[in-house]
């Protein structure tokens, strides 16, 4: 359904188009429809989606694929309930609500992006309360806006950690997914491996001509494109600075999350509801390379302790876990923290954006800048980018295999190593 064979289109103005073609013939420049810079979830999803739509697209990554913000994700593909803990739907919860079904189609190999080789850690996420907040959780899911978005689970249908007789709270099953992020990155990369390349910015550079058209010089090659797409997360800021562009502006929302390695092997994927309209604690489970269990701790614990010294945050995390799970023997435990920034389009008062973002950069003619704002919204970002390309009449041309093969001497980047395998 995405087969397309087009000639060079009106999206490349005729005088620029003729100049580019003449120079390509004379100087052996390389021409592509789209050049993506940044190999996290945003760039990799876009490469898959755009190639499926017939674009001649390639991607460059300076580090490992999925490094930084992507590999730091807990892998949740959620339907927005955690953004509606006040009892009412909002823009964030509505925007994200359609994402899990779309991801599921892709995981089955039937969607616009093939994720059939991605490992699913859990087909559900859970929301639980302590006994003191049990009535609040029941009232929360009884609201008209949220009815039907979760189901209450009891007894043996609960995750094993909540089946203990000492657990006195309520627990609900959400229509969410949890993915193994390293396998997701590897799946997306393998789908279009021949179109992904490592870039060293000490030897490569972005150039802008007098018409405001950006090109890329790498390994003595000159690469031209209808559009460059910056999907480098926090790195977008530096890329725009190279070009002297001031818009769109970026914001950083930092996190400091706790990672605990232990001997309790039963997985948990759940939010603990507190007294605030955001999860008190979010837990996801992972395995280290030596096959031990890791719990990755987010929620208010992470967002409210950005500047807390690591040892003090670890002490708070211990208090939380031992209070919430007094019946669990974690065995031999090791504790670490990790800090990272969520890079996003700048918002008033640095609030969290409620949707994926894509827009043209100011000051140049052929650069799109984008942020998915979170893993779940990668498909939504692709929709935003495609709408922008269609609006500007940037249509595909037939893929030129010789042009792609001309980059065969550039190496393929590594896949990012999960940070818990680097911390411990």
Share of the chain above pLDDT 90, in %: 71
Which residue did the predictor score with more confidence, 350 or 214?
214
- The per-residue pLDDT of the chain, averaged, comes to 87
Q: Are strands 30-37 and 57-61 parallel, antiparallel or unpaired?
A: parallel
Angstrom distance (rounded) from CA 121 to CA 110: 20
Tokens describing residue 128? 């639980």
User: 177 near 120, Cβ under 8 Å?
Assistant: yes
Angstrom distance (rounded) from CA 51 to CA 64: 21
User: 197 near 58, Cβ under 8 Å?
Assistant: yes
Over residues 134-181, the pLDDT tens digits come to: 555 555 655 554 555 678 898 899 999 999 999 988 898 988 899 999
Angstrom distance (rounded) from CA 75 to CA 122: 10
pTM of the full predicted structure? 0.88
Over residues 278-315, the pLDDT tens digits come to: 889 999 999 999 999 999 999 999 999 999 999 999 99
**How far are the Cα atoms of 209, 270, 304 from residue 74, in angstroms, in the given order?**
42, 11, 18
Angstrom distance (rounded) from CA 351 to CA 373: 12
Domain ranges of the chain: 14-69+183-250+350-416, 79-179+252-343
Phi-psi region of 355 (alpha: psi -120 to 50; beta: other; left: phi over 0): beta
Say whether domain 79-179+252-343 belongs to CATH 3.30.9.10: yes
Taking Cα atoms as reference points, which of 209, 151, 205, 201 lies closest to residue 176? 151
Query: Residue 20's pLDDT band (boundaries 50, 70, 90)?
Result: very low
Residue 183 has pLDDT above 50, yes or no: yes
Q: What are the backbone dihedrals phi and psi of residue 413, each rounded to the nearest 5 degrees, phi first?
A: -70, 160
CB atoms near residue 291 (< 10 Å): 7
Angstrom distance (rounded) from CA 315 to CA 319: 6
**14-69+183-250+350-416: CATH class:** alpha beta
3-state secondary structure of 192: coil
Indicate the Cα dihedral angle 288, 292, 293, 294, nearest 10°: -40
CB atoms near residue 2 (< 10 Å): 12
What residues form DSSP beta bridges with 137?
none
3-state secondary structure of 178: strand
């Amino acid at each position: 359904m995405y087969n397309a064979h087009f000639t060079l289109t009106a999206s490349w103005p005729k005088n620029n188009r003729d100049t580019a073609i003449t120079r390509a013939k004379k100087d052996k420049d390389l021409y592509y429809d789209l050049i993506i810079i940044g190999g996290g979830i945003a760039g990799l999803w876009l490469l898959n989606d755009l190639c499926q739509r017939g674009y001649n697209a390639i991607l460059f990554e300076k580090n490992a694929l999925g490094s930084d913000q992507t590999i730091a994700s807990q892998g949740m593909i959620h339907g927005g309930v955690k953004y509606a803990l006040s009892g009412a739907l909002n823009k964030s919860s509505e925007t994200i609500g359609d994402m899990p079904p779309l991801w599921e189609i892709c995981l089955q190999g039937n969607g616009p992006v093939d994720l059939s080789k991605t490992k699913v850690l859990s087909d559900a996420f859970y929301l639980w309360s302590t006994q003191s907040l049990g009535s609040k959780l029941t009232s929360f899911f009884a609201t008209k806006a949220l009815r039907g978005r979760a189901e209450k689970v009891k007894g043996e249908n609960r995750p094993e950690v909540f089946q203990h007789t000492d657990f006195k709270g309520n627990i609900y099953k959400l229509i969410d997914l949890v993915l193994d992020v390293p396998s997701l990155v590897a799946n997306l990369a393998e789908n279009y491996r021949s179109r992904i390349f490592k870039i060293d910015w000490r030897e490569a550079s972005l150039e802008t001509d007098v018409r405001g058209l950006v090109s890329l010089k790498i390994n003595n090659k000159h690469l031209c494109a209808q559009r460059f797409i910056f999907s480098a997360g926090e790195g977008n800021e530096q890329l725009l600075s190279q070009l002297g562009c001031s818009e769109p502006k970026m914001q950083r929302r930092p996190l400091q999350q706790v990672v605990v390695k232990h001997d309790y092997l039963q997985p948990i994927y759940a939010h603990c509801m507190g007294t605030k309209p955001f999860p008190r604690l979010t837990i996801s489970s992972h395995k280290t390379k030596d096959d031990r269990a890791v719990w990755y701790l987010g929620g208010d614990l992470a967002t409210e302790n950005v500047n807390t010294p690591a040892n003090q945050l670890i002490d708070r995390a211990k208090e939380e876990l031992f209070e919430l799970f007094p019946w669990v023997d974690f065995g031999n435990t090791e504790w670490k923290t990790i800090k990272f920034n969520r890079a996003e389009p700048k918002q008033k008062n640095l609030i969290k954006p409620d949707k994926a973002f894509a827009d043209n950069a100011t000051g140049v003619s052929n650069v799109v800048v984008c942020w998915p704002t979170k893993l779940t919204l990668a498909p939504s970002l692709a929709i935003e980018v495609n709408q922008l390309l269609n609006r500007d009449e940037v249509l595909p041309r037939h893929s030129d295999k010789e042009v792609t093969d001309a980059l065969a001497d550039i190496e393929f980047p590594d896949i990012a190593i999960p940070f818990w395998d680097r911390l411990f």
